[in-house]
Structure 1
Amino acid sequence: MITIKKRLYQVTKIQCIISSIIFLLAFLLIFHNDLQIKWIVDASFQSAPSVRMKRSAIELLSLYEEALSHREKSSFQPMFHNHYLSLELNLTSMIKDYWNYSKDVSKNKIDHVKITCLKSSKTMKDFHPICHIYLNFRLNIFNLKEVSFIFLSQNSSCPLSLKNTSDTISVDIHGMFLADDKFRFTYQWWSFDHEKLFSWSQWPLTISCLSSCLNRNQRQPSKLPLTFFQCSSINTLIHSTSRELFIREQEAVSYWLDLQNRASINRNVFDKNNVSTKPRRLAPFEIAKNNQVCPQKFQNWILNYQKWHENISFSICNRSMTFEEQFQRIIELDVRFLIYAKSTTGIADRMIHFITTYLVALLTNRFFIFDKKWPEFIDVMQSSLNYQPNIVIPWLSQLSSIKKNLSLSIQNNLTIKAHRFLTERYKNDYDYDKDFPERILIFKGHTGGVIHTIKSNSSIYRKLLTIDLEMNTENIFGCLYNSLFTYRLSQLIKRFPLNSSNQQLGHSSQQILQTLLSPRFFPIGIQIRVGDETMIQANSISDEENLEKFKNFFTCSEDFIYMNENLFRKTNQIPIIFLLSDDLQIRRAALKRCELSLECFLLSRNKCQSNNSHLQILANSNPVLHISHTNNSMLAFQLGIFDSFLFSLYKQHIITTKSRFGRFTVFASLKQRNVYSLNVGEQSSCHNQSSSLATIGYLRLGI
C-alpha cells in the first residue's frame, strides 16, 4: 500500500512539473506576443503624432485658403480703422443675395437698397441709427440664373464719399468716431419685406476658429458648406489702429509660417538626424522683436513715434472740419509733414528711398505720409502708421488754390517744398531741420542715406543712433524696415498656395518656402542681376555660355561650403543654393545641371545626403517682371517683394555688386553677417573675401 502511494505521488509530481512547464511556456508565448503587440502599438503611436501633425497642418492651411476665398466673395466688408468708418460692397455677391430673396421677377426695373448704420457708444449702449444710405440700381434679369446690376445714384442722411467700379462700391463716411464706438449695419431692398442684419468674415482667422473648423472638417470631410466658417462671422464692428492691425497681421503670419513648416516635416528623418527639436527658421520681422537684434531703446523710440503719429492723426484729420479749421489745428499743434514720393525706377530704389525718408521723419519728428500713387504697395503690405494722404491731408493737391482764400497768417505758416535728392545723397551729411525748414516736405529720389547717417563721423545724428539708441550699421535698416510694414497674410496665401503644382523644371513657391523654413538645410542665397532687358526680351545665349558667364557666383558658393564643412557636419545641415535672378535662362540652366531633388525636398530617408562637392539648386523657372517695364505693376510688385522675402530667409548671401535689389534684401533680412558681393565675370576667390554691411552700404547709390 505504501509502495502504491509512493508511486502515485511520483506520478502526480511529474504531472505537476510537466503542467508547470507547459503553463510557463504558454505564459512566455503570450507575454512575448503581448510585448510584440505593445511594441507595435507604441511604435505606431510614436510615429502617429508626426503624421497627425503634418496632416492637421495641411488641413489648416487649406482652411486658411477656403476662409480667404469665402471672405473675398462676401457681399459686405466694413472697416473702422484709425477712427474712420468705411464700407465696401461686392456687387457680384449682392446680385446673388438679391436673387435669393427677391419676389419680383420683372425683367428690367429700378430698385434701391437702404443700408442703415447703427452705433453704440459708452454713453448710449443701445445701437441707434446714425446714417441711412440709399443706393439705386437698374436691374436686368436675363433668365433664372443671370442678373446684372448697373449702379445709378446714391443719397444719404449723412455726409459721405462714394467710389464705384464694375464690381465694387466703396463708401467713406465723413466724421471721426471714438475708439469705444461700435457699429452694426442693416440692409433692405425696396422689394424685401424686412431689414436684414449684415454679417461679414473676421480676418485674419483666430487660432480657436481654425481649430474649430478643423474638428468639424474631420467629422464632416465632404465639401465645406457656406456656413462652415460661422465662427469667423461677426456682425459688430469695433475699432482698430494701424499698429493693432500691424501686430495682428504679424501674429497671423507667424502662425501660418509654423503651419507651412509643420506641413513639410518628415519626422523619421528629423529624429534620425537629431533636429526634431529645432525650431523653424525665423522671418526678419520675427528676428526684429529680439532685443539683442533691435535694442529695446530703439523699439521704445519707434513705439513713442507711432503713438504720437496716431494721436496727431486723430487731432487733425476730422472730415467734419473745414480746411481752414484743419490748418489752424495743424499750426496750433506745430505739426510738420514729410511725404514720401516714390520714384519711377525699380522696387529696391523705391524701398531704399522709403526707409531713408522714414528715418528722417523719425529724426525730425515729422508726420510721415506715404505716396498715394502706389496702390499695389498698400494691397500687399500692412503699415504700422496711418499713412493715407487722402484722409490725413486731403487738401494737398489743392493747396495752392486753397491758400489764396486763407488769412495771411495761415498762408505764411503753410510753407511747402518738394526736394529731389541727387545721386550724391548717400555720402552727404544733412541737418534736416536746418536744411528743410518748410512745414510740408515732399522727398523725391531713389538714393539711400541710412548707412551714412549712422556711420559718418560728421553726422549730427550719429550719437543719437549709436549711443542713445544702441544701433549700428548692421541692424538699423532692417529694424526700421520691419517696424514700418509687414506682409499681409492674404497676399502670402495667394503667392504660396497649398495646391501649387510640381513643375517640370524648378520648384513651386511653396516648396521653396517650406525648404527655407526647415532647420534641416543651410540655405545660401545667390542673386544674379543681369539687367532690365532680360525681363523684357530673352537672350539667345546657350546654357553652357550662361553658366560659364556667371561661374564665379557658383564657385563662390562652393568656396563657402568648403570653408564651412565642419559646421555643416556638426549641425547635420545640408547646404543648398537658392538662385534668384532677373534672367530666366540662367535659372533654368542651373536647374538643369544641379536641381535640388524632390526626394531631398521631402526629406526622404537616405535620399538627401550632404554632398558638399555637388551644388543643389533651389529656384523657380518662371519669368519675372520689372515694375517699371510692365502694364501689370501689381503682379510685378508681388513677384518682386515676395522674392525679397524668400531671399531674406537665407543664412548667407552672395549678391551682384551693381544690384540694389540684393543689397536692400540683405539689410532687411537682419542676418547681420558679411556678404559676398561679386561682379559678373570676376575671377576672384571667395576664400575670406566677404564684405561688411558697412562697406556694401556705400555701393552704388547707397542704402
Structure 2
Amino acid sequence: MLFIFQNNLIFTWIYEEDFQSTPVLITRSEIELLSLYEKELSCVENDSFQPIFHNHYLTLKLNLILMGKNHENYFKSDSQKEIDCLKITCLKNSKTINDFHSICHIYLNFSVIILNFTEVRLIFLSKNSSCLLSLTNTSDIISLDIHQMFLVDDKFRFTYQWSNFDQGKLFSWSQWPLTMKYLNSNINNLSKNKNQASKLNFSFFQCFSIDILIHSTSQELFIREQEAVSYWLDLQNNASINKKISNRSNNSIKPRRLVPFEIAKNNRICSEKFQNWILNYQKWHENISSTINNRSMTFEEQFQRIIELDVRFLIYEKYPTGIADRIIHMISTYLVALLTNRLFIFDKNWSEFIDTMQSSLNYQPEFVVPWLSQFDIIKKNLSLNIQKNLTIRKYSFSFDRYMKDYDYEKHFRERILIFRSHTGAVIHTIKSNSSIYRKFLTMDLKMNPENIFGCLYHSLFTYRLSALIKRVPLISSNNSLGHSPQQILQTLLSPRFFPIGIQIRAGDGTMTWKQVSSNGITILKKFENFFTCSQQIININKKLYRETNQIPIIFLLSDDIEIRQAALKRWKFSLECFYSIENKCQSNNSDLNILTNSNPVFHVTYAKDRIFAFQLGIFDNFLLSLCEQHIISTNSGFGRLATFASLKLRNIYSLSLNEQPSCQNQSLPLAISGYHWSGI
C-alpha cells in the first residue's frame, strides 16, 4: 500500500485482496476512514443474525433482543398474536452446482411479549428441523450448530420467514473486519453520491451487508485480523500526521513504529525454522480437530476415532489471578503442546479472552471436545477398552515450575492432560542446561530466551480489531488531566518519539478498596526510583536521540491511579510537542515527558465487570509492548508480560519498591528476568 501526500489530501493506492485488479485512486482523510470503521463496527453489533462457517462446520447465531427490535413493526401490527414461528432455510452451492439449493429448514417457535408498545421480547420455546443440529440458548442468544461437515468450496445463503410472511426474505449481515476491497468500493460509492473528490462526509453511510457465507479456518481468520489491524494502525499514524502538517511531501512521511506481531513476522526475530514448526502444528491441529469432531457421530464413535488416531490432548485451565498470570501460564502450556504434539484446548470459562483475542487455532472446547465437561459421566457408559485408553488427569504447578526440568512424555502419560497454574516455564525450558528440549529449541529451531516467549505469543493469538477500536474511539470522554487513548496510541506509534515504558505495581489493594488520598509529592517520593531510573536512561542516550531526531517520552502504567495523576501534574507530556512540526521540545529540557491516562484501573479478579477489566488490561499491555525500553516492577508479571511480548530483544530495568536505583549500565538480561516473580 502506498500513501502519497499532497496539500491537505491523501491519495491512497488500494489494491484488491487478490492483487489482480487495477489500483483505484481514492481521495480520503484518514480521520474519515477511521470514522467508517466505527460506524461499520456499530452495524456489526446491531446484526440480529450472524452465520459462521469455520473449520468445515456451520453455526447460526440469532440475537433475540436485536431480532425483536428489528422486527418490532411486524409484531406490533398483530399485537394479539402470542406465539410466532420463524422458518430459517439454509441454501448451499459449490463449484459443481451453480445455483443455491435448500439443504435444511429450521423452525423456531417463540413466545412474543409486547411491553408497553415500545419493546418486543422474544422467548424461545421449541425447535424443529429437517437436518440434525444442536441448539444452545441463553437469554439473548440462540446458537444453532448443524451436524454436517461441509467442504471449503461450499457457499451458503439463508432466508427467513415469519408465520404470516407471504414469502421468505434473504438474511444479510455486516462485513467484518473491513477489507481493502470493501473500503475501495464503499468510498467510490460515496464519491459518486456526493460528486466531490476532495471532501466527503459520511452522512450517506449505510451498513455494508453481505448475503453469501464462505469458509474460513482459524488460521485464515487470524491472518485477516492482523492485516486489518495493521491497516487501521496505518490510518491512526497518518491521522496524527494530518493534524501536524498542512504542507508536506513524500519525504516528510516516516513509517510508523511496528507493533510486536508485525516484528514477529521477521525471520531474523522469529526464525524461519520456528515459523515452519508452528505452521505445521497449526495444520495438524486444524486437521485433527475437524477429524475427531464430526458432529454427526456419537461420543463413543468420537472416542473410538481418538484412540485409533492416537490423539492426545493438553487442556489449559486458567488460574483465578491476574491477566499476566493467566496468559503466561497459557503460553507455557502451549509450548508443551507443541513439544509433545498434543491437541491444545482452551479453558471454556474465559469467554472475555476469546471475545478480545483472535486465535490461530480452533481451540475452544465446545467445538473440539464437547464431551469434556461431562466426561466422568459419559466414560462410565463406555466399553472397557475405551475407558482404559481414555485416561485423564489434572496437574497443578506452583513456583517450582520455572526452576524445574520436566520430561513431558515420561512424567505426563495420560491421554488427556489438564494443566493449571499461575506461573510460566518458557524461559527455563529453553535456558536450563539440563532441559531435554533445549537443543531442539536452540540448535534446531534457532531460538533463544529473548525471543521464544514473544514468538510463541504472537503465533497463537492477536488483538481483535473490534476490541481495539472500542478502546480508541475518535471522540473520547477522557478527562483533561490525562491523555486520551488515541493520543497515547498515536504517540507510541510515531517514529518521532522514543517511548520508555514504566510499569509500577503498587499492589492489588489499590484496585480493591478506596484509598485515602495522599499528597502527590509524597507518592512520587515513594516511587521515585522508577522516575530517577528513566531520567538516567535518557541522560545516557542523549546522543542517540539527537542522531535519530527522537524525543524521549515516558509511557506510565500503574495500578494506583494516584501515581499517574501525580506524575501528570508534575511532568505531563505536552500535546503541543506532539503536534509540532519540528522537535522543538527536544531542547535542553531536563523534565520528563509523562504520557498516561488518569482513569481508574480494575483487576480482573475483583472487578464487578470483569469483561471490561480484562479489555482495559489487554489494551494497557498492548500499549506497553510498543515501548522501546522498559522499566518494570520486579514483583509483578504484568510489565514482564508486555516486555517479553514486545520482541524488542533488549535488556530491561527491574525495580523493587524503595530500591535505590542505579540504572546506568546496570540493565537486566531478559533471560534472568524470566525467572523473577512467577516466571515467564
| TM-score (ref. length: structure 1) | 0.89
| Aligned equivalents of 1:538, 1:674: Cα separation in 2 | 36
**Counterpart amino acid of residue 167 in structure 1:** D
Match of residue 21 from structure 2: none
Instruction: For 2:426, give the aligned amino acid.
Output: V
- Aligned position for 2:67: 94
Q: Is residue 132–residue 147 contact of structure 2 (8 Å, CA) maintained in 1?
A: yes
Query: Deviation digits for residues 545-575 of structure 1, max 9, x if unmatched?
Result: 1010111111101100000000111111110
1:16 aligns with: none
Contact persistence 2:427–2:675 (CA under 8 A): yes
SS of the residue 2:333 aligns to: helix
Q: Which amino acid aligns with 1:663?
A: R
**Aligned in 2, Cα 1:602/1:145: closer, same or farther, shift over 3 Å?**
same
Amino acid at match of 1:394: P
Closer/same/farther in 2, CA of residues 294 and 546 from structure 1, 3 Å limit: same
Are 1:564 and 2:537 matched, yes or no? no
1:85-129 residue CA offsets vs partner (Å, 9 max, x unmatched): 111122343234434556943344321110011122344443222
Conserved? CA contact 1:677–1:691, under 8 Å: yes
Aligned-partner Cα distance in 1 for 2:678–2:348: 25
Q: For 1:589, which of 561, 566, 572 is the aligned residue?
A: 566
Q: In the alignment, which residue of structure 2 is the partner of 1:657? A: 634
Structure 1 residue 211: deviation in Å? 3.0
Q: Secondary structure at the match of 1:435?
A: coil
Q: 1:350 to 1:621 in 2, by over 3 A?
A: same
Task: Name the SS of the counterpart of 1:382 in structure 2.
Answer: strand
Paired residue secondary structure (1:169): strand
- The yes-or-no answer on 1:133 pairing with 2:122 is no
Q: Match of 1:702, as an amino acid?
A: G
Aligned to 1:60: 33
The more displaced of 258-267 and 124-133 is 124-133
Aligned to 2:502: 526
Residues in 2 aligned to 1:431 and 1:477: alpha-carbon distance in whole angstroms: 20
SS in 2 for 1:127: strand
- The equivalent residue for 1:667 is 644
Of residues 453, 456, 463, the one that matches 2:429 is 453
- Give CA deviations for 1:415-439 in whole Å, capped at 9, x if unaligned: 1110001211101001000010111
Q: 1:141 to 1:452 in 2, by over 3 A?
A: closer
- Offset at residue 619 of structure 1 (A): 0.3
> Deviation at 1:631?
2.2
Q: Secondary structure at the match of 2:134?
A: strand
* Partner residue in 2 for 1:48: 8
1:549 to 514, 522, 526: 526
Q: 1:474 aligns with which of 431, 440, 450?
A: 450
Where 1:458 maps in the other structure, the secondary structure is coil
> Structure 1 residues 224, 293: closer, same or farther in 2, change over 3 A?
same
Aligned with 2:71: secondary structure? Answer: helix
Report the alpha carbon displacement of residue 539 of structure 1 after superposing the two structures with TM: 3.0
2:190, 2:204 within 8 Å by CA — same for their partners in 1?
no
The aligned counterpart of 1:163 is 136
Deviates more, 1:598-607 or 1:334-343: 598-607
8 Å CA contact 2:500, 2:627 repeated in 1: yes
Which residue of the other structure, out of 331, 337, 352, is the alignment partner of 1:376? Answer: 352
- In 2, the alpha carbon distance for the partners of 1:387 and 1:696 equals 30
Partner of 2:16: none
Please say if 1:84 is aligned against 2:57. Answer: yes
Match of 1:357 among 302, 314, 333: 333
Q: Secondary structure of 1:293's match? A: coil
Please give the residue correspondences for 1:255-404 in structure 2 after superposition, counting only pairs within 5 Å. 255-266=231-242, 276-404=252-380
Q: Which amino acid aligns with 2:676?
A: L
Q: 1:161 to 1:631 in 2, by over 3 A?
A: farther
Amino acid at match of 1:76: F
Residue correspondence of structure 1 range 599-618 to structure 2 within 5 A = 599-603=576-580, 608-618=585-595
Per-residue deviation, 1:606: 6.9
Q: Return the alpha-carbon distance in structure 2 between the equivalents of residues 244 and 309 of structure 1.
A: 14
Partners of 1:432 and 1:698 lie apart in 2 by 20
Q: Is this contact kept in 2: 1:115–1:187, CA < 8 A?
A: yes
What is the alpha-carbon distance in structure 2 between the residues aligned to residue 508 and residue 542 of structure 1?
24
| SS of aligned partner of 1:433 | coil
Deviation at 1:222, TM superposition (A): 6.2
Q: 1:268 to 1:196 in 2, by over 3 A?
A: closer
Q: For 1:32-81, what per-residue CA distance to the aligned partner results, in whole angstroms no more than 9, with x for missing partners?
A: xxxxxxxxxxxxx9533469999611001000000010121122110001
**Residue 210 (1) aligns with residue 183 (2):** yes
Structure 2 gap ranges (5+): 13-25, 195-199
Specify whether residues 472 and 204 from structure 1 end up closer, same or farther in structure 2 by C-alpha distance, changes over 3 A only. Answer: same
- 1:17 alignment counterpart: none
Q: Distance in 1 between matches of 2:188 and 2:152?
A: 35
Counterpart of 1:20 in structure 2 is none
Letter in 1 for 2:433: N
Contact conserved, 2:507 with 2:559, CA < 8 A, in 1?
yes
Query: d(CA) in 2 for partners of 1:269 and 1:368?
Result: 49
Deviates more, 1:549-558 or 1:610-619: 610-619
Unpaired runs of at least 5, structure 1: 1-44
CA-CA distance at 1:270 after TM superposition: 10
Counterpart residue number, 2:679:
702
Give a deviation string over 1:479-520, Cα, whole Å, max 9, x none.
Answer: 000000001111111111111145210101111000000001
Confirm whether residue 621 of structure 1 aligns to residue 581 of structure 2. Answer: no
The DSSP-based 3-state class of the residue aligned with 2:143 is strand
The residue matched to 1:153 in structure 2 has which SS? strand
Alignment of 1:109-148 (within 5 A): 109-141=82-114, 146-148=119-121
CA distance in 2, matches of 1:657, 1:112: 60
* Paired position in structure 1 for 2:172: 199
Residue pair 1:266, 1:604 contacting (<8 A) in 2 also: no
Q: CA deviation at 1:254?
A: 0.3
Alpha carbons of 1:337 and 1:544: their partners in 2 closer, same or farther (altered >3 Å)? same
1-structure distance, mates of 2:51, 2:665 = 56
Structure 1 distance, partners of 2:435, 2:115, is 70
88-97 or 271-280, which moves further after superposition? 271-280
Report what 2:620 is aligned to.
643
Q: Distance in 1 between matches of 2:244 and 2:329?
A: 47
In the other structure, the counterpart of 2:667 is 690
CA distance in 1, matches of 2:588, 2:478: 24
Say if 2:489 is the partner of 1:489: no
Secondary structure class of the residue paired with 2:332: helix
Please give the alpha-carbon distance, in whole angstroms, between the structure 1 residues aligned to 2:674 and 2:201: 55
Secondary structure of residue in 2 paired with 1:557: helix
Is the aligned partner of 1:509 residue 2:485? yes
1:169-216 C-alpha deviation (Å, 9 max, x unpaired): 222222322222221111111111111111111211112322333344
Corresponding residue for residue 608 of structure 2: 631
Task: Specify the code of the residue in structure 2 equivalent to 1:68.
Answer: L
For residue 602 of structure 1, report the CA deviation from its aligned partner: 2.2
Bigger CA drift: 121-130 or 399-408? 121-130
Task: Determine the C-alpha separation between the residues in 2 that align with 1:121 and 1:400.
Answer: 41
1:277 is displaced (CA, Å) by 3.8
SS at match of 2:349: coil
Q: Which amino acid aligns with 1:636?
A: A
Aligned residue in 1 for 2:400: 424
CA gap 1:524/1:82 in 2 versus in 1, 3 angstroms: same
